[in-house]
C-alpha cells in the first residue's frame, strides 16, 4: 500500500488549498478522515501514512470501490471541512495526534454517521456516551502503538532520573560542568516505579523495567492484572491512589482519558507524591492538571515531568509545560505528541484501519479488542467502571 514519492508529489500538487481531497462516486459511501498535514516530510517519506498527504494509504483502494474519501486537517469551527463534510459522512476516521472532536452536537448533526474509527489508540476525542445514545460504533486499532509508547515511557523515565536533557543542553552551549548535572542525577536501580493504569501500555512499561532491578514495581488499576501476569513481573497492586503515589519514586500514567481520569493528577494528589519524585504521562494531557504540575515542579514535590500529550494540541507557544523547570534548571522531558506515531506504528494503525473498514464493508464481525462502543453500547472496561459483563479487560498481550 505504500505510495511512491513521485505519486505522492503529484497527489500533493492536486490538493486544494484546504488540503481537501475527494474521490466522488454516487455508488459508494462517504468516508471522512481528519489527519495532520505532513508537508514536505510526508512528500519525502511515504511511510508517514497518518498524514493528509498519504491518507493512511487508503485512497486508491477506497476509490476503486467507488467510495467518496474526503481527507483534511481542517477541523476547527463550524466552517471547517470536518464540520461541513461530516453532515452526510457514514464513517469518520480520526487520529489522536490531530483529533477531530466528535462532540454530542456534531454527532447529532451527522445524521448518516454509523462508524468512528480511531487511527491509533485513545478515543477520548469522541463523546462516547453520545455515541452510545446515537448508536454510532467506535473502534480503535487496539494494540497498534502500545509498544511504541511503552518504549517512550521507559526512555522518558531514564532521561528524567539521569538528568539527561540539561546535560545535553550544556554540551550544546559549549559548557562542561559535571557537578551541575551530577548533583541531580540518579540510578533507576533500587527505585519504586508505579503505573496508574496497567493495561497494554502500563504492563509493557513495567515489563521493560524489570531488567533495571527496581526496588519494586507497583500498579493502580480498578481492573487487577491476571495473577500470572502480575507474578511474572512481580508487580504489586495498591488500591488507594494516594497511598500508591506516596510509595513511588517514579509514577507513569497509562489510562485512557474519561470522566474518571480527567484531572486525576491534581494539586491535592500531588501533595501525596514523594519529595523528588518523577512523573511521566504519555496517556492524555488532561489527566494531569497543567498548573498544578508546573507548580509541583517548581516548588516540589516533583523533580521532573515528561510526556508527549498536552491539554491542548498543538500546544500554544506559551504553554507552561514547554519551559517549566525544577529549581536546578532541569526536569522537563516534554515533546510533541509522537510517541505512538513512529513509522512502525503508522504502518500498524494504517493496516488496522483498513481491516476495520473491510469488516464494515463486508458486514463481518469486528475484532472484539478493537470495539470501544459496539452496536449495543460500551464493549470495553477501560473507559471507566460501567459494569458491562461482556466488556473486555484493559490488560491483554494483544
Ligand atoms: P488499555 O485499555 O489496554 O489499558 C488502560 C488501562 O487503564 C485499563 O487496564 C483500565 O482498567 C485502566 N484504567 C482506566 N481508568 C482508570 C482509572 N480511573 N484508574 C486506574 N486505572 C484505570 O489501554 P492502552 O492501550 O494501555 O492505552 C492507554 C491510553 O494511552 C490510551 O487510552 C491513550 O489515551 C494513551 N495512548 C497514548 C499514545 C501516545 O502516542 N501518546 C498512543 C497510544 C495510547
Ligand 1: which residue has its CA nearest to atom 10? 382
Contact indicator for 308, 153 with CB cutoff of 8 Å: no
**Taking Cα atoms as reference points, which of 124, 49, 115 lies closest to residue 361?**
115
d(CA 276, CA 155): 19
Q: Which residues pair with 371 in a beta bridge?
A: 139
> Which 8-state DSSP code applies to residue 330?
-
Q: Is 282 annotated as a binding residue?
A: yes
- Provide residues with CB under 6 Å of ligand 1: 120-122, 145-146, 149, 196-202, 220-223, 254-257, 260-261, 282-284, 308-309, 337, 339-340, 381-382, 394-395
124 CA closest ligand 1 atom index: 34
Task: Cell numbers for 343, please give them.
Answer: 513509522
State the distance from the centre of ligand 1 to the C-alpha of 81, rounded, in angstroms.
30
The dihedrals phi and psi of 274, each to the nearest 5 degrees, come to -65, 145
How much is the pLDDT for 273?
99
Give the pLDDT band (50/70/90) at residue 385: confident
State the distance from the centre of ligand 1 to the C-alpha of 258, rounded, in angstroms.
10
How much is the pLDDT for 387?
53
Contact indicator for 395, 387 with CB cutoff of 8 Å: no
Q: Which of 144, 148, 260, 382 to mutate to test the pocket of ligand 1 (most atoms within 8 A of CB)?
A: 382
pLDDT in tens, 224-248: 999 999 999 999 999 999 999 999 9
State the distance from the centre of ligand 1 to the C-alpha of 255, rounded, in angstroms.
3
Ligand 1: which residue has its CA nearest to atom 40? 340
d(CA 222, CA 197): 8
Which residue carries 559535571 as its cell? Answer: 178
How much is the pLDDT for 384?
87
* Mean pLDDT, range 358-383, rounded to an integer: 96
How much is the pLDDT for 237?
98
Q: Is 206 annotated as a binding residue?
A: no
Q: Is 27 annotated as a binding residue?
A: no
Contact indicator for 348, 379 with CB cutoff of 8 Å: no
Q: Which residues contact 220 (CB under 8 A, 6 or more apart)?
A: 194, 195, 196, 197, 198, 237, 238, 239, 241, 244
| Percentage of the chain exceeding pLDDT 70 | 90
Contact indicator for 201, 153 with CB cutoff of 8 Å: yes
d(CA 140, CA 117): 6
Ligand 1: which residue has its CA nearest to atom 41? 282
CATH number of 146-334: 3.40.50.720
Q: Which helix (H) or strand (E) element contains residue 92?
A: strand 91-94
Contact indicator for 199, 225 with CB cutoff of 8 Å: no
What ipTM score was computed for the predicted complex, to two decimals?
Answer: 0.99
Say yes or no to pLDDT of 197 above 90. yes
Say yes or no to pLDDT of 81 above 90. yes
Q: Which residues contact 271 (CB under 8 A, 6 or more apart)?
A: 301
Q: What is the topology classification, in CATH, of domain 30-142+343-378?
A: Rossmann fold (3.40.50)
pLDDT in tens, 168-194: 999 999 999 999 999 999 999 999 999
Q: Which of 97, 119, 120, 122 to mutate to test the pocket of ligand 1 (most atoms within 8 A of CB)?
A: 122
Ligand 1: which residue has its CA nearest to atom 12? 197
Contact indicator for 256, 122 with CB cutoff of 8 Å: yes
Task: Cell numbers for 206, please give them.
Answer: 513495567
Ligand 1: which residue has its CA nearest to atom 30? 283
Q: Is 393 annotated as a binding residue?
A: no
Give the pLDDT band (50/70/90) at residue 392: low
Q: Which helix (H) or strand (E) element contains residue 137?
A: strand 137-140
Q: Which of 197, 222, 310, 384 to mutate to test the pocket of ligand 1 (most atoms within 8 A of CB)?
A: 197
Q: Which helix (H) or strand (E) element contains residue 50?
A: none
Q: Which residues contact 136 (CB under 8 A, 6 or more apart)?
A: 107, 113, 114, 115, 116, 130, 373
User: Could you tell me the pTM of the whole model?
Assistant: 0.91
CA 86 to chain centre: 23
Give the pLDDT band (50/70/90) at residue 8: very low
Contact indicator for 63, 362 with CB cutoff of 8 Å: no
Q: Is 272 annotated as a binding residue?
A: no
pLDDT in tens, 17-63: 233 333 333 459 999 999 999 999 999 999 999 999 999 999 999 99
Identical fold between 30-142+343-378 and 146-334: yes
- Strand 371-374 to 137-140 pairing: antiparallel
Task: Cell numbers for 188, please give them.
Answer: 533507576
Domain ranges of the chain: 30-142+343-378, 146-334
Instruction: Kindly list the catalytic residues.
Output: 145, 284, 313, 337
Q: Which residues contact 175 (CB under 8 A, 6 or more apart)?
A: none
How much is the pLDDT for 398?
54
340 CA closest ligand 1 atom index: 40
d(CA 259, CA 227): 28
Give the pLDDT band (50/70/90) at residue 3: very low
* Mean pLDDT, range 322-328, rounded to an integer: 98
Q: Is 153 annotated as a binding residue?
A: no
* Mean pLDDT, range 334-360, rounded to an integer: 98
Ligand 1: which residue has its CA nearest to atom 33? 122
Amino acid at each position: 500500500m505504500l505510495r511512491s514519492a513521485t505519486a505522492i508529489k503529484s497527489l500533493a500538487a492536486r490538493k486544494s488549498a484546504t488540503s481537501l481531497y475527494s474521490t466522488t462516486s454516487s455508488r459508494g459511501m462517504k468516508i471522512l478522515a481528519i489527519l495532520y498535514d505532513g508537508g514536505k516530510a510526508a512528500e519525502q517519506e511515504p511511510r508517514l501514512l497518518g498524514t493528509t498527504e498519504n491518507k493512511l494509504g487508503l485512497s486508491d483502494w477506497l476509490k476503486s470501490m467507488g467510495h467518496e474519501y474526503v481527507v483534511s486537517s481542517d477541523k476547527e469551527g463550524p466552517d471547517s471541512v470536518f464540520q461541513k463534510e461530516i453532515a452526510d459522512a457514514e464513517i469518520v476516521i480520526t487520529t489522536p495526534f490531530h483529533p477531530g472532536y466528535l462532540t454530542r452536537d456534531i454527532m447529532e448533526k451527522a445524521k448518516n454517521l454509523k462508524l468512528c474509527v480511531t487511527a491509533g489508540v485513545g478515543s477520548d476525542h469522541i463523546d462516547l456516551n453520545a455515541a452510545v445514545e446515537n448508536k454510532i460504533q467506535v473502534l480503535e486499532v487496539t494494540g497498534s502503538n502500545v509498544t511504541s509508547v511503552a518504549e517512550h515511557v521507559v526512555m522518558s523515565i531514564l532521561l528524567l532520573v539521569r538528568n539527561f536533557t540539561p546535560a545535553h543542553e550544556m554540551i550544546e552551549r559549549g559548557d562542561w560542568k559535571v557537578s551541575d548535572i551530577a548533583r541531580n542525577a540518579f540510578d533507576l536501580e533500587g527505585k519504586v516505579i508505579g503505573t496508574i493504569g496497567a493495561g497494554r501500555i502500563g504492563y509493557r512499561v513495567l515489563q521493560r523495567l524489570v531488567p533495571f532491578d527496581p526496588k519494586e514495581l507497583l500498579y493502580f488499576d480498578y481492573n487487577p492484572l491476571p495473577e500470572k501476569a502480575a507474578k511474572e513481573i512481580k508487580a504489586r497492586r495498591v488500591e488507594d491512589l494516594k497511598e500508591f503515589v506516596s510509595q513511588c519514586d517514579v509514577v507513569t500514567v497509562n489510562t485512557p482519558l474519561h470522566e474518571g481520569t480527567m484531572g486525576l493528577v491534581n494539586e491535592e494528589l500531588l501533595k501525596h507524591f514523594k519529595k523528588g519524585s518523577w512523573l511521566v504521562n504519555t496517556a492524555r494531557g488532561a489527566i494531569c492538571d497543567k498548573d498544578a504540575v508546573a507548580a509541583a515542579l517548581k516548588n516540589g514535590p516533583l523533580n521532573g515531568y515528561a510526556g508527549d500529550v498536552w491539554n491542548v494540541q498543538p500546544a500554544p507557544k506559551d504553554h507552561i509545560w514547554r519551559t517549566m523547570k525544577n529549581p536546578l534548571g532541569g526536569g522537563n522531558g516534554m515533546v510533541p505528541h509522537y510517541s505512538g506515531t513512529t513509522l512502525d506504528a503508522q504502518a500498524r494503525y494504517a493496516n488496522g484501519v483498513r481491516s476495520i473498514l473491510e469488516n464494515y464493508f463486508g458486514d463481518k464481525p469486528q475484532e472484539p479488542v478493537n470495539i470501544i462502543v459496539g452496536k449495543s453500547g460500551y464493549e470495553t472496561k477501560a473507559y471507566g467502571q460501567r459494569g458491562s459483563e461482556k466488556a473486555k479487560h484493559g490488560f491483554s498481550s494483544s
